[in-house]
Amino acid sequence: MVLLAAAVCTKSGKALVSRQFVEMTKSRIEGLLAAFPKLMTGGRQHTFVETESVRYVYQPLDRLYMLLITTRASNILEDLETLRLFSRVIPEYCRTMEESEILDNSFHLIFAFDEIVALGYRESVNLAQIRTFVEMDSHEEKVYRAVRETQEREARTKMKEKVKDIQRKRYEEIKRGSKNQGYSSGNSGGFGLTGGFGGGPGVFTAPTENITTSTQETRPSTIKPAGSNRAMKLGSKAKDVDSFVDQLKSEGERVVSSSESVSKMTPSTTPQIDMEPIHIVMSEDIVVHAGRDGGLQNMEVQGILKLRITESEHGFIKVQVDNTDTRPVQVQTHPNVDRDLWRSCGQIGMKMSNKPFPHNTDVGVLKWRFQTSDDSHVPLSINCWPQENGAGGCDVNIEYNLEKKEMELNEVTITIPLASGAPPPIVNECEGEHEYDRAHCALVWRIPVIDKAAPTAAMDFTARGVPDNFFPVRVSFNSKRPFCDLKVLGVVSTSDGAPVTFSHETQLKTNVYEID
């Protein structure tokens, strides 16, 4: 059985709750639901109706329909059994079969629908199990709420103490002011404490502002909790928090300490290059789409040479570029660059020799592009081999191989998607670091460096799902060596041809690198 979608709709085809279980566009779902009432014929009892592409299996619910959309090849007996389970779920959360009641409990219905069907296939569950799964309490949520309530309670207590302290100081100031007024009244002119601040109300101005400020600063909704570190504990039961952290770690979550969190929030600093007044950047972006069977569908490399001059007196220059690439690389110069000079001797100079290159801005003077579908040009090949193990999951073996031994790939990340809602995978063998990304339901494999010294490695893990769940595999990396064989040999002055000092950097990074 392949269930495409489940919906609760009116007899006119208006969807109140709709849940799709396979990849389908919103317009496709809306079209299928809108076509359903037109297929109904009066005077006959139906349980299903078919079109050229799908089958509608439905059950009337007063003025509503419980509707399943399946493929025509699905088993009608299984469809009807699934439909009965869907129909029994709705009264569990809705007292009446009215539109308003369905809309008010739509999220509960969607959660229940997800427990019945996963990825288009019926789960082996009954109504009691669905009720248990949907209403299951979360220990992590309880711990979080308890910690939050403790923080708020501590903050409120601290706020009350602060207000009492300010009121006490205010009362003492009033008493001192009264004494000073009585003393100064005997002097000629009668200038007491209130006289210099414009009357009696001036005495209370500063304390009143302090009360307002302190009250705002000690509200429980502030980011920084008031009081000591006790506010971060669940009363005296710190073990609950520790067990919460331990449980997260056991489930595969990566728990980051406060020091690690601060370091992650701080942008990583790469080694700075000593930039000369003339700085040249050669950057390339690579796009690769490959098939899971090993065939390359498309590969494209786009590069650009940028020139940055920080001092105007260095604008009259020529850049010598050596292109030794034997592959069909398409090269194009900027319209203001002398093309004849480029074709004759591989130099980049201004078309109008009396004009300098712009300064204090990045100027793209040369672009190149390489496109191919030949497997031999791929820098890094990925072989992902999932095999069903007969227990509702797959044994997955994935390996990489550096095809271009002269290259060095840095910060390599290989992301393997997992089945939605699946538990963390069991990694049996891995060369490098691996991490379970719960938010994106994926297994992330990280390799700091891939070069000719260690050109290949493999990882083996077991996870729930079918082979299609583990694709597309996405790869990202960067390199200081360009893919195309273009090099900057030097920079010379246009006036006398003397060499000019310059700085240079090369960047290669992935834009899209997928194995589907």
Residue 113 lies in a domain: yes
Residues 46 and 158 in one domain: no
- Among 103, 118, 134, the domain-final residue is 134
- Among 209, 231, 248, the domain-final residue is 248
- Tokens describing residue 455: 């050109």
- What is residue 136's DSSP assignment? -
503-515/380-388 β-pairing: unpaired
Please tell me the distance from the alpha carbon of residue 130 to that of residue 138, in angstroms, as a whole number.
Answer: 16
Please tell me the distance from the alpha carbon of residue 246 to that of residue 474, in angstroms, as a whole number.
Answer: 30
Please tell me the distance from the alpha carbon of residue 73 to that of residue 58, in angstroms, as a whole number.
Answer: 17
Residues 360 and 495 in one domain: yes
Residue 120 lies in a domain: yes
Q: Look at residues 512, 439, 422, 442 and name the one whose alpha carbon lies nearest to residue 118.
A: 422
Residue 361 lies in a domain: yes
Asked if residues 211 and 164 have their Cβ atoms less than 8 Å apart, the reply is no
CA dihedral for 231, 234, 235, 239, sign (positive or negative)? negative
Q: What is the largest CA-CA distance in the chain?
A: 109
Residue 304 lies in a domain: yes
Residues 506 and 464 in one domain: no
- Residues whose CB falls within 8 Å of the CB of residue 487, separated by 6 or more in sequence, listed in order: 321, 322, 324
List 320's β-bridge partners, or say none: 347, 490
What is the number of domains present in the chain? 4
Amino acid residing at 513? Y
Q: What is the domain extent for residue 96? A: 3-134
Residues 116 and 208 in one domain: no
- Residues whose CB falls within 8 Å of the CB of residue 281, separated by 6 or more in sequence, listed in order: 305, 306, 308, 362, 504, 505, 506, 507
CATH of the domain at 507: 2.60.40.1170
The CB density around residue 402, as the number of other CB atoms within 10 Å, is: 21
Please tell me the distance from the alpha carbon of residue 160 to that of residue 207, in angstroms, as a whole number.
Answer: 16
Per-residue CA distances from 272 to 268, 305, 446, 480, 507 (Å)? 12, 19, 24, 14, 14
Please tell me the distance from the alpha carbon of residue 166 to that of residue 461, in angstroms, as a whole number.
Answer: 62
CATH of the domain at 73: 3.30.450.60
Per-residue CA distances from 358 to 280, 292, 308, 350 (Å)? 13, 47, 8, 10
Residue 124 lies in a domain: yes
Residues 437 and 308 in one domain: no
317-323/486-493 β-pairing: antiparallel
- Among 204, 231, 248, the domain-final residue is 248
Residues 50 and 109 in one domain: yes
Could you please report the per-residue DSSP string of 314-376? Answer: G-SEEEEEEE---S--EEEE-TTB-HHHHHHH-EE-BSSTTSPPP-SSEEEEEEEEEEE--GG
* pLDDT score for 254: 56
Residues 116 and 153 in one domain: no
Residue 263 lies in a domain: no
Residues 287 and 347 in one domain: yes
Residues 367 and 488 in one domain: yes
Residue 103 lies in a domain: yes
Q: Apex CA 346: angle with CA 341 and CA 351, to 5°?
A: 30
Residues 353 and 401 in one domain: no
- Tokens describing residue 335: 């319209």
Q: What is the pLDDT along the chain (516 residues), one digit of tens a residue?
A: 578 888 888 887 788 888 888 888 888 888 888 888 778 766 556 688 888 888 888 888 878 888 888 888 888 888 888 888 888 888 888 878 888 888 888 888 888 888 888 877 777 788 777 777 777 666 677 788 888 888 888 898 888 888 888 888 888 888 777 655 544 444 444 433 333 334 444 333 334 444 343 334 434 444 444 444 444 444 444 455 455 556 555 555 555 554 444 344 334 444 567 789 999 999 999 999 999 887 889 999 999 999 999 988 888 999 999 999 999 999 999 999 999 999 999 999 999 888 999 988 899 999 999 999 998 899 999 999 999 988 889 999 999 999 999 999 999 999 999 998 888 999 998 988 999 998 889 999 999 999 999 999 999 999 999 999 999 999 999 999 999 999 999 999 998 889 999 999 999 999 999 998
Residues 295 and 231 in one domain: no
Residues 233 and 150 in one domain: yes
Residue 62 lies in a domain: yes
Task: Provide the CB-side half-sphere exposure for 215 (13 A, CA).
Answer: 10
